[in-house]
Structure 1
């Protein structure tokens, strides 16, 4: 089996030497080095590494900016931050932009090698979630429609994408846990009004009741789906956050770093779209 290829990005020649020695002795092949944003993409394109170690504090652009540039060039790039900086703010930003591991300097060889190994190993837990997670949301959507409206629905999968056309009333729910994610529920306001009338058994008195109804409905769907996934494997530890509701003029909902899969539910009161996506987040923080 060919050695795993690593690229080292750090403005310090001494740090690059230390990291290269650790990685080489650990059985990895260091195929390229970069000291700044200027040479980052060109070097990456030439050496095509399996994983990149990235310093944070660099002169022309920090490690976060370099990570964003590299992930725009190659969304599949696997990046590990290796830096003396490590606090709640830097960790949160690293997770937000999709960094897969974080090792604090001074680097201990065992810690660095463990993180690299985890990053390049197949993530079967995530692959399972990608395979059957949408089925859990389909079941949760079906259950919630039946229980809350006493009607049935026909549900089909629409496909995958990063952009969703909102039709008027949209609820966004964040998902935390082993793999952070987002669930988006969307339908036109007039259909939401019909749905609210079915659930309330009377017309909604004002638009606030319709908005509150859909927010609660989305919260139930997300909670049930996460519970079903957690029952499959306790390692997921998924939880839903409070819903955010957007309504008014139809808009485009764009999630460039989080492609979503969408379900379409055809109901007695109209069509509901539910979209959900997860990202790997961090693999190991040391």
Structure 2
């Protein structure tokens, strides 16, 4: 059964372009509207699976129309389609409960990806669970080998649910995107000092210098891994937040909100713990 889409835009040309792009990709365009007065009636009659919604329209704009439609049907799936795209408009769209946001001029491939992922909300998450750890392992291996000139082999952790005790220095990188998550990198002070010396080509001058190296190395690994995943599918929309570093007392590493996949990287300088986890997203922005 084909997915039914209703198009709302005050521009006849935009409605035509969006409708043709949808039809050419196998979607059924069941209605077109250009005013709030027609929106609810047409939606009730056509029963679309998704509504594409322009923002800048005379009278009631796309935000007001989206609010009214969500009041009529709280389960309505709406994709904002607009030339405007900034933090303010995105924040308002998320507050209303819009499912996706595509910028004009509309690229058919992008629109199809957004619709596909909205109608199959777990697909991106499942891809990240399948690819995530291996991609972060690849990024860690490439960059530690390149920067510290040490070979790396990985050892799987048999009991992934068992708590892991920090070796001394833990860095946590938040991951933002369609499915948010985190990367955890942990190693001993001794390993960190050896890696810092290999990278700097001299002994570190202070503990602060070692900690700064660990933080930046984790940031590089996470950023490159996210870029690698985004290249495979830009719908992931992954980016990293600034690292948080913990050191000193031995502690148990846990992640209460995200299930972490784990691996151990063995190097000439000691072992590095790598943990990567994601949680399901709900809004897709392109």
After TM superposition, give the deviation of residue 105 of structure 1 in Å: 9.4
2:209 matched residue in structure 1: 209
Q: Tell me what 1:108 maps to.
A: 72
Q: For each residue in 1:196-223, what CA deviation from the matched residue of structure 2 results, as whole angstroms up to 9, or x when unmatched?
A: 1111111111100100010111011101
What is the CA–CA distance in structure 2 between the aligned matches of 1:220 and 1:243, rounded to whole Å? 10
Aligned counterparts of 1:163 and 1:280: Cα–Cα separation in 2? 22
Q: Which moved more, 1:123-132 or 1:177-186?
A: 123-132
Equivalent position of 1:123 in the other structure: 122
Q: What is the SS of the residue equivalent to 2:280?
A: coil
Question: Do 1:162 and 1:258's aligned partners in 2 also have CA atoms closer than 8 Å?
Answer: no
Distance change >3 Å, CA 104–CA 265, structure 1 → 2: farther
d(CA) in 1 for partners of 2:211, 2:69: 49
Relative to structure 1, the CA distance from residue 104 to residue 235 in structure 2 (aligned partners, 3 Å threshold; closer, same or farther) is: same
Once residues 135 and 106 of structure 1 are traced to their aligned partners in structure 2, the CA distance between those partners, rounded to angstroms, is: 40
Residues 124 and 179 in structure 2, CA contact (< 8 A), matched pair in contact too: no
Closer, same or farther in 2 for the Cα pair 1:112/1:186, shift >3 Å? same
1:106–1:194 CA distance, 2 compared to 1 (3 A): closer
CA deviation after TM superposition for structure 1 residue 155, in Å:
1.4
SS at match of 1:161: coil
Q: Which digits, 9 at most, give the CA deviation of each residue in 1:34-84, with x for residues without a partner? A: xxxxxxxxxxxxxxxxxxxxxxxxxxxxxxxxxxxxxxxxxxxxxxxxxxx
1:63 matched to which residue of 2? Answer: none
1:256 is aligned to: 256
Q: In the alignment, what sits opposite 1:273?
A: 273
For residues 4-23 of structure 1, the C-alpha deviation after alignment (integer angstroms, 9 at most, x for no partner) is xxxxxxxxxxxxxxxxxxxx
Gaps of 5+ in 2: 1-46, 48-66, 79-98, 100-114
Alignment of 1:194-233 (within 5 A): 194-233=194-233
- The residue that corresponds to 1:244 in the other structure is 244
Distance 2:239 2:70 in 1: 35
Which protein has the larger Cα radius of gyration, Structure 1 or Structure 2? 2
Aligned counterparts, 1:162-181, within 5 A: 163-181=163-181
- Cα distance, 1:157 vs structure 2: 2.8
User: Structure 1 residues 284, 200: CA separation in 2 closer, same or farther (over 3 Å shift)?
Assistant: closer
How far apart are 1:250 and its partner, in Å?
0.6
- What's the TM-score, normalizing by structure 1? 0.59
In structure 2, distance between residues paired with 1:104 and 1:143: 51
- When residues 281 and 249 of structure 1 are mapped into structure 2, their CA distance, relative to the original with a 3 A threshold, is same
Matches within 5 A, 1:1-286: 107-109=71-73, 111-114=74-77, 121=120, 123-158=122-157, 160-161=160-161, 163-283=163-283
Distance 2:76 2:213 in 1: 50
Contact 1:162 1:256 in 2 (8 A): no
**Structure 1, unaligned runs of 5 or more:** 1-25, 27-102
CA shift, 1:284, in A, is 7.2
